[in-house]
Amino acid sequence: MKFREFEHDVLPRILIPLLGGLFVLCAIHSGVRAAPAPASAPKSFIVSAADGYGVNECIKTGDECARIVADAWCEAHGHGAAKAFGRADDVTGAIEKTAVREAPAKAISEDDVFILCGE
């Protein structure tokens, strides 16, 4: 078989279907949209007044700066905007006051605040 015969007989039989298949694959792949990523579960933080962050004064009083401070806290920890925030004893009053951290165990004080972050 000479190259000229290969070029005119065999190559089109292989190359055209191969290129057609690649074209179909590209068309299918571009038409398929990725499913949206599931929203991550909200994260809640109990911020102790003793931690020295200074967010407690604004959030526990409910001033206008509370939303800004809570959003900044959530964004600084890699989450979306704050969904809820306020005094920690308001939220956790229905639950027995136990440890809020893994170690060392510490009860919630009246100056502590909570921040619920979400996407």
Contact 72, 97 (CB under 8 A): no
pLDDT score of 12 more than 80: no
Determine what percent of the chain is predicted with pLDDT higher than 70.
Answer: 70
pLDDT score of 1 more than 70: no
Domain boundaries, the chain: 1-33, 43-117
Average pLDDT, the chain: 75
Q: Provide CB contacts within 8 A for 44, sequence distance 6+.
A: 114, 115, 116, 117
Q: What is each CA distance from 4 to 10, 11, 14, 24, 27, in whole angstroms?
A: 10, 10, 15, 29, 33
Q: What tens digit of pLDDT does each residue of 27-74 get?
A: 787 766 655 555 567 888 888 888 777 788 888 887 788 899 999 988
